[in-house]
Structures are given as C-alpha cells and as structure tokens.
Structure 1
Amino acid sequence: MKEFLLLLKKGNKSALLAAIVNTIIAILKGIGFALTGSVALFAEMMHSAADTANQLFVFTGSALSKKSPTDRFPNGFGRLVNLVLLGAVLIVGIMAYETIVEGIHHIIKPTHPSGFIISLVILGISVLLESFVLYKAMKEISHELGINSSGFGVVTQAISNLGKAKPATRLVFLEDAVATLGGLLAMIAVIVAHYSPFHEAEGIASVIIGILMFIVVGKVFLDNAAGVIGEADEEMEIKIGEMVMNDPDVKDIQALTVLKEGEDLHVELEIELDPNLTVAEADDIKDRLEEKIMNEKGVTDVIIELDEDDGIQNWSEEKNEPELVEKK
C-alpha cells in the first residue's frame, strides 16, 4: 500500500487536476439537467463524466507506469500507461454513443426546456473551468519539453508540439479542448432554442458533441495502440545519431533504435570502432556515450553494442537520418 501511494505521487498532475475539475463540472451539469431538462446540459454532463473517469484512469496509469522493473517484468511497466488509456477510451466511446442517441431523440421529438438562465450560467462556469484546465495542460506540455513560453505563446507552443507531449498530457489536452468547444456549442444551442422556435438546436448540439468525443476516442486509440505495440521515436533517433557520430572515436552506426516505453525512451545502439583499440579504450568510449545519451530528456535505459569498423558507411549523414545502406 505504501508503494502504491508513493507511485501515485508520480502520476500525471494535469490528469489529476482535470479529473478534480471535471468532477465538479459534471455535478453542476447534472444538477442543471435535473432542474431544466436541457438536452445540451445532458450531453455536456455525459461529456464531463466521461472525462472524469478517463482522467482518473490516466492519472493512475501514469503513476503505475513508474513502477520499477521486477523479475517477472524485467522491461518495466512503461507501456502500462498506453494500456490504461486504451481501456479509458472505451468509457468515452460508450458515453459518446449515449450522447448522440439522446441528441437524435431530441431532434425527432424536440421539447422546450425551462431554466434558461440556470443552463447558461452553469455552462458558462463550466467553459471557464475547462479553459483553465486546458491552459494548465498547455503549460504542462511546454514544461515537459523544456520550452519557455508565456502568454499566447503557451497556446501556439502546445499546439505545435502536441505530438511530442507525454501520452497522458496529450489526452488531457485533447479532451479539454473538445470539452471547451463543446461547452461553447451547448451555450449557443441553449440560446438559439430559447429565443427561436428551432428547439432542435440542443439535439443537434448533443449529436455534434458526441461526434467530437468519438474523434478524441479515435485519436487516443491510434496513438496508444502504437505505444502498446512499440513505437520508435524518429526525432530522437536522429538527435542521438548525430551526437554519436560526432564522437571522434565512433566510425559508424550499424543500428540505432529509440523505442517509446510509455513516457520513457529505451535506446539500443550498435556502433563500429577502430579494431586496433584496446578493450579498456573501447569500454571508456561506451561509458562516455552512455552518459551523454542518458542525459537526453526522457531516456531511461541505454544498451550499446560494439563492433569493429567494416569500412562500409551505414549511417547517412547527408540525409541526416538513420538510413542503413545495403551492404554488398
């Protein structure tokens, strides 16, 4: 139990904050729906409830993925966060389906909801809270990547570097971006339904919100399915490859793989050295490279194999990428 509590302290802070805020939002929207019968509020209540459950899964999964390797699982638990996220999207998918079904039902049989002011106030508060969590997620992306940004730069940096963010932070960003957009859409629908005879507006908003939720499900599923299978980090491969080839004692790189293990990076490298070097000299080169690679952000494990120089260049410096040239 003590180990579990210690692991929770290492969980993704953005996911925990988002779960707490979305719990409050879901309760507010639930109360609002009970008082007004607004379909737009129902859709947003389902959305917030799904986000809450999802982000609790994310927080727990990101924490457990930090567990140290064991004899049974010597490669560690890095990919556990990807597995948890795959399970979490099922919850969002189910609630997205229910949201769409309720929206279609309201389009077919539209009703005039009461409590216009209540609906608008609750949705307004929700949008503000969702925007706050979204901004915190953006800040977390910059923090994870070591980028100094402020003001609107936080937004642009987060969007441009979203693919490099940790899986948990990326999910929080996507969910809260859709939640903020969904909240604004629901507010518009409530206003249209109140001031015009077009009462189907809330049903249409509900369907659109459900579709947006499905888009997040698809994106998160594809990202984390790749993580479970084992996805290479090509950008880090290029960076480490350049670093290794700049070492004066390295003649060539035979193979280089940077594998994503959840939020961590596992590096496997095979280099060629001068065959005239002594074992001690080769070992010093290996230790030096291991230290440099381990200093790269996110790298937790490095395996380096040594071989003698065969005189054939495998690493393509011209294209600046790890391209293996076919040996004759």
Structure 2
Amino acid sequence: MSAGGGTKAIVAALLANLGIAITKFIAWALSGSSSMLAEAIHSVADSGNQVLLLFGGRRAQRAATPLHPFGYGRERYIYAFIVSIVLFSVGGLFAIYEAVHKYEEAIHSPTKGAITSWQWLPVTVLVVAIILESFSFRTAIVESNAIRGKASWKEFVRRAKAPELPVILLEDLGALVGLIFALIGVSMTLITGNGLWDAAGTMMIGLLLVVIAIILAIETKSLLLGESATDEDVKAIAAAIVDGPEVERVIHMRTLHLGPEELLVAAKIAVRHDETADEVAKGIDAAEARIRAAVPIARVIYLEPDIYYQKG
C-alpha cells in the first residue's frame, strides 16, 4: 500500500473507532439516545471500512497471472468503492431511519425521547470520542501532507491515485462533524427534555454520511474506470522519451493507472527513416530506461516506432 503512511492512518482510525464504538453502544444502552445509537453504528461501519481497506491493500499485492496479466492493483479501488457503499447504507441510511423513527415518537410525545437516565454518560462519551477522533484525524492529515505536495485538500481528494488516505480523511472528518451534531442533539435534549433534538441530531448525522459516501463513490468510480497519469508525470514521460538521439518526437501517447503505484505507458514514437531494425530496438530500450528513471511507477511500457511525416 502506498506505503506505510496510508497503512498507519488506517490502523490509527481502526483502533480509535473500535474503542469508540464500544463506548457508544454502552452509552446508548444506558441512556436510550438515538444519536448515540447512530454514532455507534457509524463507528462500526467505519471500523469495517478500515478492515476492508487493509484487506484490499493486501490482495492488491498479489503477482500478475495469465488471467490477470496486469496484476491486481485495482483491487484497492474496488474495496474503496465498497467502503462508500457501506458508509451510505450501514451508516447514513440507518441513521436517517433511526431519526425518522425517533421523530415520530417525539412528535406524539416529546418527553418520550428524552434522556432520563445516565444523563451525564452520553455527553462524556461524545467528548472523549471527539478527542480520540481528533488524534486519528491528525494522523491522517500528517500522513497526507507527506504526499500531498502543493495541492489543495480538494485537489488531493479528487486527484489522489491511492484511495486509502482520501477515504480515511473524509471518514474522520465526517466522524468529527457527526460527533458535534450528536453532542448538540444530546445536549439540547438534556436541557429541554424534548426528544426532537435527539432526532434532529441523528438526522444530521445520517445526511452527513450520505453526502460523504456519495463523494467517495464518485471519486472512486473515476479510479475504477481508469485514470491517466498526473500532468507532471505525463510531461516527465514525454520529456524522457525524446531525451536522446533515438527518438525524434512523440506522435501520441496514452497512460493508464493499473493501480496506485503502477502505470501503463503506450506511445507511438517517431524514429529516423534510415535506421535499421537493430538500431530501432536499441533506441526503444534506451527510451524505456529513461522513462522508468523519470517516473518509477511506469512499470508497463509499450513503445511503437513509426515514421513521422510533416503534413503540408
């Protein structure tokens, strides 16, 4: 996996979510708060998602086979897409369902949804959860900064070829904002004795998770369809190809990510018309070596020699 950075962020988020999920379930069982239940399910969904990312990263490392000659690098994209589905269904839709159910109860009897026992526990759990999630979010930010470069956070999420860090970033951000919604809903329910606030907090959590899941699905779908190399890598590859006497110019070129750290390069290159086959072959080998030196993730390279005729 792109390295230990992504794995470190995933493990940090997984450990935080497992501990938080247990405490949230305890708080829900003792207080009956729907916001606590929604947050508990949210933490369970996040924990499952992190396991999926780790599993996908491990499976993506398998060697190529005759049936899958380009390897299994895209499995990381598949599992990241599954994460968006889990977040949407298990996290978002469940929270919305719970909010509607709680709202129907509270609208007929506002005090029915009030938190009457262990009133201090939900607030305590939420405050502790916010602290733990903040540490997890900080780890994801630090690891992302190591590879983000000068890109904005929006550009990083949209353009990152390794899906794990953007997924963890959005999950942790959603978890923090969701905890704040839950804290507001629970606090207002305790202050007013009206369960509608708890239902409103649960609804906001559900809508938030649905929005994040949709963003993840859209970005991961693009990776699954196949994205080209970054503009910087494309320029570096093109420059490497012509940085020698063997190649006159690049006629056209296509790039495709076979996985986050594996790039396919296919190009038609112009060679001199008076070269022998042996000279052309040696020139292609030299160009391939330059490409790999310039962009190490360019693992699969196909260069087709041709004669370029100037039009007009």
| TM-score category of the 2 structures, normalised to the smaller one | 0.7 to 0.9
Contact 1:227 1:261 in 2 (8 A): no
State the 1:232 CA deviation: 2.2
Structure 1: where are the runs of 5+ without partners?
Answer: 1-5, 149-155, 313-327
Whether 1:251 and 2:248 are equivalent positions in the alignment is yes
- What is the match of residue 112 of structure 1? 114
Shift of 1:302: 2.3
Instruction: Output the CA distance in 1 between the equivalents of 2:144 and 2:250.
Output: 32
- 2:114–2:194 Cα contact (<8 Å) kept: no
Residue matched to 1:289? 287
In 1, the alpha carbon distance for the partners of 2:167 and 2:266 equals 28
TM-score, structure 2 length as denominator?
0.85
1:133 and 1:289 map into 2 onto residues whose CA distance is 44
Q: Distance in 2 between matches of 1:278 and 1:144?
A: 44
Percent identity of equivalent pairs: 23
**Post-superposition offset of 1:200:** 1.1
Opposite residue 202 of structure 2, the aligned amino acid is S
Mapped partners of 1:289, 1:211: distance in 2: 52
Paired position in structure 2 for 1:223: 219
Task: Map 1:125-204 onto structure 2 (within 5 A).
Answer: 125-145=128-148, 147=149, 158-165=153-160, 166-204=162-200
Shift of 1:157: 5.3
Name 2:110's counterpart in structure 1: none
Instruction: Assess if the C-alpha contact under 8 Å between 2:6 and 2:143 holds in 1.
Output: no
1:308 paired with 2:307, answer yes
Contact persistence 2:16–2:132 (CA under 8 A): yes
Using the TM superposition, give the Cα deviation of residue 175 of structure 1 relative to its aligned residue in structure 2, in angstroms.
0.9
Equivalences, count:
299
Rounded to whole Å, the distance in 2 between the matches of 1:131 and 1:293 is 41
Matches within 5 A, 1:269-288: 269-288=267-286
Are residues 163 and 226 of structure 1, via their aligned partners in 2, closer, same or farther at CA, if it must alter by over 3 Å?
A: closer
RMSD: 2.7
Distance 1:258 1:115 in 2: 59
Measure how far apart 1:253 and its partner are.
Answer: 1.8
Please give the alpha-carbon distance, in whole angstroms, between the structure 2 residues aligned to 1:163 and 1:279.
Answer: 44
Does the CA-based 8 Å contact 2:25-2:36 persist in structure 1?
A: yes
SS in 2 for 1:71: coil
User: 1:266 maps to what in 2?
Assistant: 264
Change beyond 3 A, Cα 1:274–1:160: same
The CA deviation string for residues 259-300 of structure 1, in whole angstroms up to 9 with x for no partner, is 122313222222112223344543444333323332425433
Please identify, of 175-184 and 90-99, the stretch whose mean Cα deviation from structure 2 is larger: 90-99
Q: Contact 1:237–1:258 (CA<8 Å) still a contact in 2?
A: no
The answer to whether the Cα contact below 8 Å between 1:266 and 1:299 also exists between their aligned partners in 2 is yes
**Cα deviation code 1:99-147 (max 9, x no counterpart):** 10111122222211133321112111111221222221222223335x4
- Higher relative CO (Cα under 8 Å, sequence separation at least 6) belongs to 2
Aligned counterpart, 1:210: 206
For the residue of structure 2 that corresponds to 1:254, the secondary structure is strand
Deviations along 1:212-242, one digit per CA (max 9) or x if unpaired, are 1112221222222222232223525642355
**1:39/1:102 contact within 8 Å kept:** yes
Give the corresponding residue for 1:60: 55
Equivalent position to 1:84, from 79, 88, 100: 79
Alignment of 1:2-21 (within 5 A): 12-21=7-16
- Structure 1 pair 104–231 and aligned structure 2 pair: CA distance change class (3 A): same
1:287 corresponds to which letter in structure 2? D
The gaps in structure 2 that reach 5 residues or longer are 107-112
AA aligned to 1:218 is I
Kept after mapping to 1: 8 A contact 2:242/2:249: no
Moved more, 83-92 or 163-172: 83-92
Partner of 2:224, secondary structure, is helix
How far apart in 2 are the matches of 1:203 and 1:138?
A: 32
